[in-house]
Structure 1
Amino acid sequence: MKSLTVLELSKLYNINRQTIYNNIKKGILSKNSDNKIDFSEAIRVFGEPSRKQDVKEPVKIDSPSSAEVLLLRQQIDMLKNQLDDAKDRESFYQNQIETIQRLLEAPKANMTTFTDKEQPQSNAAQVQPELSTDDEENDGLATAEPKRIQVPQHVEPEPEKRGFWSRFFKPYG
């Protein structure tokens, strides 16, 4: 006949191992010489083991119609849409950057820069220094001709800046 260990017997009958040991100690249940319990002895004490559910029964796995799966699929679709939108934005901005770079690289024939040292003679004759003290006349708006600021001829030289120690040891003068 079949022999079972205490652990196998406790799993088969779904009882605590301590209960089996207590029954052995009391003499209700006996062990073989190899410390195993005969199955017929277990049936005599505990009766027929209750049938567990067969493993072959279909176990319900999340079906595609379950709420969680549907929610996850919706989130995946939403994330795919967001990724597509981000790719579209990236390509649009990349095109904008390329366009701006091409415009910056293209030289403009009719524009002169401040680094040009020579001015055409016609422009030099037209530019005349304007001395204006009226605030109303110069309202801050950009005009075609640049305004010049008059520099006074007699400027007093600034006094010599004195360092920390010279303030103590040099006389004022």
Structure 2
Amino acid sequence: MEITIKSAAEMAKVSRNTIYQAIRDGRMSRSPSGKVDSSEVLRVFGNPSDRLTRQEEREHIEHLKTQQQNLTPLDMMSAEKEALYQARIKALEDTLRQTQEREQQHIEREEWHRRQIDKLTDAIKLLEAPKASAKPKALFDRLFGG
């Protein structure tokens, strides 16, 4: 459906100059009657519902400024408290991490000690084992005490 340049600008939420620039750049075509097809507007500028007009942008910015100015000292205090709590949380997380690392070191040290105890126990068992005689005495030596 063909529409006027003004209607195209309103539809795309851009200025008429932007429409003319798109036509000059060759991004958008124009019919001999001077109108543009609505599908061309959508193709070049996309869905207009995703975009704010300049006036809507200005109004939105003013609204944000007003909201910021209307912050009470209590709101500012809440922001300060939140920052303080965030800092405390970070400090506690660091402490927890350090504690977990120390616990892991203690577990590893305990395992090492257990292995050492096992080695020493094995060594003691070997030392306490009855010693076998080197060679049984011959019959002659047993009889004559040699």
- RCO higher in structure (CA 8 A, sep ≥6): 2
Q: Work out which of the two has the higher radius of gyration on C-alpha atoms and give 1 or 2.
A: 1
Structure in which a larger fraction of residues adopt helix: 2
TM-score by length of 1: 0.30
TM-score by length of 2: 0.35
